[in-house]
Structure 1
Amino acid sequence: MRTAREVSFPQGARPFEEGGRADRFWVIRTGSVGLGMRVPGRRAAVVGRLGHNELVGWSWLFSPHVRHLGAEAATPVRAYEFDAAAVHALCQDDPGVARDLTRWVGNVVARRLHAARIRLLDLYGPYGAGSAL
């Protein structure tokens, strides 16, 4: 937390865009953020919504440090913002911090991948997510 600073975003603010440089991340205190991806000729497709105590942005941890999605505040948001370079420096100094942080972000990515797979089954599977293959 010593590298964090408190920030707020009004509804509709875009903390980052798909394809942008991933140099920071946030943990939401209040409000919600929608994650979306560009769809040619249409508005961005919202692929997830994040709320209290959830991580916004994980691309800062993995090369090439480029955002895979864009983000938009769905409601007014208060969050802790972390500078990726400062967190990387902490990880270099303390392998335990690096291990714990990598495990935490990995679990976040795994949960989101699972949720995306379920949504895809609901949208495109012949029997929805509830059926066995």
Structure 2
Amino acid sequence: MEIHRFEEILAQHPLFASFDTATIALFAGCARHEHFRAGERIYSEGTPADRFFIVTHGDVALEVATPEREPIITETVHAGELFGWSWLIAPFKHSNDAVALNEVRAISLDGACLRTKCEANPALGYTMFQHWVPHLVTRLRSLRLQVLDLYGVKA
């Protein structure tokens, strides 16, 4: 019964909206609910990246550790947004920290499950990357602008 709820949520998300019902059902088979308390570390830099998240409630800080200073928040992710892209590319290790700023509910999708489905169906994998790469590019552009701002460089 739960899988139908995942299918519903995924189908409404812009990242998945153009996939057909059967493909969304495949993705939903890799999904589970997550809950994090305020201040809870969701993952840390260097740890295995085995899933990604769609925030359904709350806010998550994506942080980068810095020597002799507090971590720098590079992005804050809100309801409807995704985070945790490191499951896509080997060595499948997180490149930042993720911390719940308040109570967070999310759906996570298992990276190994998704990779296995894409390896079994290369056309699905290619289509998935076509849909997801623009979101990654947007994130990288945003991070670039933050770095330029941090160092006082005019873009």
User: TM-score normalized by structure 1?
Assistant: 0.87
Structure with the largest fraction of strand: 1
Which structure has more relative contact order (CA 8 Å, sep 6+)? It is: 1
Deviates more, 1:36-45 or 1:94-103: 94-103
Question: 2: distance between equivalents of 1:57 and 1:104?
Answer: 16
CA-atom RMSD, angstroms? 1.6
| Structure 2 runs not aligned, ≥5 long | 1-27
TM-fit CA distance, 1:98: 0.9
| 1:61 corresponds to which of 88, 91, 95 | 88
Q: TM-score when scaled to structure 2?
A: 0.75
Q: What is the percent sequence identity of the aligned residues?
A: 33
Count of residues in correspondence between the two structures: 128
1:31-88: per-residue Cα shift (whole Å, max 9, x none)?
1111001111222111111112222111111011111101001121111111111111
1:38 aligns with 2:38: no
**Which structure has greater helix proportion?**
2
1:72 and 2:135 correspond:
no
Cα distance, 1:124 vs structure 2: 2.8
Aligned counterpart, 1:100: 127
- Tell me which residue corresponds to 2:147: 120
Counterpart amino acid of residue 98 in structure 1 = G
Q: Does 1:83 align with 2:89?
A: no
Gaps of 5+ in 1: none
